[in-house]
Each structure stands twice: as C-alpha cells, then as structure tokens.
C-alpha cells in the first residue's frame, strides 16, 4: 500500500436536493437512503477529478491510478476528532430506560454467551435497556436522527395530450408518474476518507460536485470541505493508542463502517463470539454494467471477537484499502475497532 495516503475527515453539505435511490417500492416510489453511500460520493469525486485533470478513455486505468477509499457520508451536525468513530447506525445501541443515556449491548451479550453469565444482576441490567432506538447515528455520546426527507411526485408529460405518459413493456402498461424521496438542501454530513495527495489537492480548498440521480435537472449539488487531515502514519499511531485503551477487555469490538465481506472478516479475525449482523446486498452502476455485492455485512453491524490479535493487526485492517480499485471506489471493507460506546458499563 502506498504510504503517501492522507486521511481526511470531511464535511458534506447539500446545496440542492439530493436523490439517492435506495429502494424501489411498488407504485413508482423510490425511497432514499438516510446517508450518502461511499460509492456515490467516490464516483462523483473521481469523475470530477478526471474531468479537471484529464484521463484515459479506459475508466479502469483511471481508477487504478488514484487512491480513494471513503466511508459513507453520515448525517451529522457536530464536529469530530480524527480518531473518533463515525456516527454509525449501530445495531447494538440501546437506551437506558430511566436515563437519557445510550449504551451498546455488544459486550454484555458476548459475556452472557461466552462466559455463561447468569444471575439477577444481569437480568436487571438487560431489563433496563430498551433496544428499540430506531435508525439513529451515534458517536462520542451524541445522537443524530436521520434528516426528514422530502417526497415529490414527478410526471413525464405526453407531448400530444399533455397528460401523463404511459409506456408499454412486454404487454404491461407502465404509467410514468413516480415519487422520489430526496435529502433537502442545507443538511450536513460527515465522512472519513483515505486518499492520495493528488486527490487531496483537488479537495483541500473545498469543492462542489453533483451526486445521485437527476443531476441535470437541479438535483445533487453538494459542497465538500476538509475538516481535518493527517498523514497515514500519524493516523495509524493515533488509532493504535485509541484501540489499545480498551485492550484490557477480553473482547475486541468491530463496527462495519461501510460494507464488509463476511469472508474477509472471518479470514482475518476468525469466528466472532457475538454478532449483530445486518445482512444485505447492493448494486452499483459503473461503466455500463452493474456490480452486485450479495450477503454483505451492512453499515452498523457489530461483531465481537476474543482478543487474539495484536493492536497492529487491528489498525492494519482499519487503514488498508482493498487492492482492487473497484472495491476501493465502492468503499468496501471499511471497519472500525473498539468504538468506546461498546465498553461503557450498562
């Protein structure tokens, strides 16, 4: 891996409504994601870079030249430090019923399973926790709810009758009336990226790029600013210190920041003691075809392992982008170890 990488903490602000088509529901309704996916952001940034600097006609050659490995951009109004966890929708988050405090159930669950913990004290602890927190983004003791989305119904007009157009596909009549959710303008997001110096030079003073769908009709403009940056070696040392803080625990916690192959986690860390694993698949359109990733561990998945590796190994996993430029562009296998929330006593 090229050690001249720079790690950045970036602020993304929506200037126009942003349409990120998450899922298509029946009745022509496109649901949006509450965050900006890493693949969407990286793709837009790399396109901008090669439009400015020029590149070859072969997209794969272009991607091989540059290093970009970004997390998703998560809704977040506050600031963060470089070594802090990103605000992830953690699957193990729970609220203490009598207090306005959030904890993670990961370690207590792992201890029950691995150490056969039983007793009234444990039962009381669990009873006091409400796991139904919904989709929220949590970091450094603070919580951010997803932004309210706007939904607009669009229509394609028939040029002759000036009513909504209908098309026929294989005997089926499809009306071109469709509703799209969008993230409104003025919303703030935060992300982390591992990039080479050339890409850093493009964004260090701030840039505006377009992401998502309907970019040629007033949607998608975002402003990107670098909040903090550090060279990779400094970042590695910072993370070593922060991961080591919780190495007295029997367990090490892993949060999936973007999407991770379960086989990748197993090959490097073995089988987990405990997991809250959101499984899903996603597809990305690139250069005329879909890349489909199936049965991935989704963002917010939490795994607990017995502490069997060294701190250096955990940091290496956090800071090593995939070798394959397409996987890097799509932000795969970005993970975070020992998020402090997992070690707060419930």
Where along the sequence are the contacts to another protein (CB under 8 A)? 13-17, 51-54, 152-154, 156-159, 165, 167, 169, 176, 184-186, 214-219, 221, 285
Question: Residue 157 Cβ, how far from another protein at the closest point, in Å?
Answer: 6
Minimum gap (Å) between residue 160 Cβ and another protein: 8
Q: What is the helix (H) or strand (E) element at residue 328, kind and residue range?
A: helix 325-329
What tokens appear for 86 in the block? 């990103």
Alpha helices in 76-166 (DSSP H): 106-115, 120-127
Residues 6+ apart with CB under 8 A from 208: 15, 221, 222, 223, 224
> Closer to another protein at the Cβ: 185 or 322?
185
Q: How far is the CB of 185 from another protein (least distance, A)?
A: 4
For residue 163, the surrounding DSSP H or E stretch is none
* Neighbouring residues of 156: CB distance < 8 A, sequence distance ≥ 6: 164, 165, 176
Minimum gap (Å) between residue 80 Cβ and another protein: 22
Q: Which is nearer to another protein, 119 or 288 (CB)?
A: 288
Longest dimension (CA), the chain: 75
Element (H, E) at 316: helix 311-319
* Smallest gap from residue 209 Cβ to another protein (A): 13
Q: What is the DSSP string of 249-291?
A: SSEEEEEESSBB-HHHHHHHH-S-SEEE--EEEEEEEETTEEE
> For residues 223 and 316, which CB has a smaller minimum distance to another protein in the complex?
223
Nearer to another protein, 219 or 305 (CB): 219
Q: Return all residues near 45 (Cβ < 8 A) that are at least 6 apart.
A: 68, 70, 199, 202, 203, 209, 224
Contacts of 42 (CB under 8 A, 6+ apart): 68, 69, 70, 329, 330, 331
Q: Which is nearer to another protein, 165 or 316 (CB)?
A: 165
Identify any residues that bridge with 280 across adjacent strands, giving them in sequence order: 296
Q: Which is nearer to another protein, 17 or 89 (CB)?
A: 17
Q: Enter the tokens of residue 159.
A: 């040029």
Contact between 17 and 182 (Cβ < 8 Å): yes
Nearer to another protein, 39 or 104 (CB): 39
Question: Which CB sits closer to another protein, 221 or 229?
Answer: 221
- The least distance separating another protein from the CB of residue 346, rounded to whole angstroms, comes to 41
The minimum distance between CB 173 and another protein, in angstroms, equals: 12
**Measured from the CB of residue 52, what is the shortest distance to another protein in angstroms?**
7
- Alpha carbons 111 and 192: distance in angstroms, whole number: 31
Give residue for tokens 């793709």. Answer: 43
Least Cβ distance, residue 75 to another protein (angstroms): 16
Question: Whole-angstrom Cα distance, residue 147 to residue 140?
Answer: 19
* Between 51 and 56, CB nearer to another protein: 51
């Amino acid at each position: 891996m090229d050690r001249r990488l720079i790690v950045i903490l970036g602020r993304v602000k929506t200037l126009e409504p942003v349409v990120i088509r998450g899922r298509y529901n029946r009745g022509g309704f496109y649901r949006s994601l509450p965050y900006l996916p890493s693949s969407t952001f990286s793709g837009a940034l790399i396109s901008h870079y090669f439009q400015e600097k020029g590149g070859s006609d072969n997209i794969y050659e272009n991607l091989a030249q540059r290093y970009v490995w970004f997390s998703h951009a998560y809704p977040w109004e506050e600031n963060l430090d470089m070594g802090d966890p990103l605000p992830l929708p953690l699957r193990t988050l729970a609220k203490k019923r009598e207090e306005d405090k959030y904890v993670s159930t990961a370690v207590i669950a792992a201890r029950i399973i691995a150490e056969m913990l039983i007793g009234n004290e444990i039962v009381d602890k669990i009873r006091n926790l409400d796991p139904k927190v919904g989709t929220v983004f949590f970091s450094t003791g603070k919580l951010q709810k997803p932004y309210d989305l706007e939904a607009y119904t669009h229509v394609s007009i028939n040029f002759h009758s000036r009513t909504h157009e209908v098309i026929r596909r294989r005997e089926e009549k499809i009306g071109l009336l469709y509703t799209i959710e969008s993230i409104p303008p003025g919303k703030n997001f935060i992300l982390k990226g591992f990039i080479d110096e050339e890409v850093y030079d493009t964004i260090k003073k701030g840039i505006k790029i377009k992401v998502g769908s309907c970019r040629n009709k007033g949607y998608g403009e975002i402003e990107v600013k670098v909040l903090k940056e550090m060279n990779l070696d400094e970042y590695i040392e910072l993370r070593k210190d922060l991961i080591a803080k919780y190495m007295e625990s029997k367990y090490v916690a892993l949060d999936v920041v973007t999407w991770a192959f379960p086989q990748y986690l197993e090959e490097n860390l073995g089988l987990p003691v405990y997991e809250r694993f959101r499984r899903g698949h996603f597809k990305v359109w690139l250069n005329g075809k879909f890349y489909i990733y199936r049965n991935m561990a989704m963002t917010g998945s939490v795994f607990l392992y017995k502490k069997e590796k060294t701190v250096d190994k955990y940091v290496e996993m956090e800071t090593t982008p995939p070798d394959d430029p397409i996987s890097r562009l799509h932000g795969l296998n970005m993970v975070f170890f020992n998020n402090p929330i997992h070690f707060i006593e419930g």
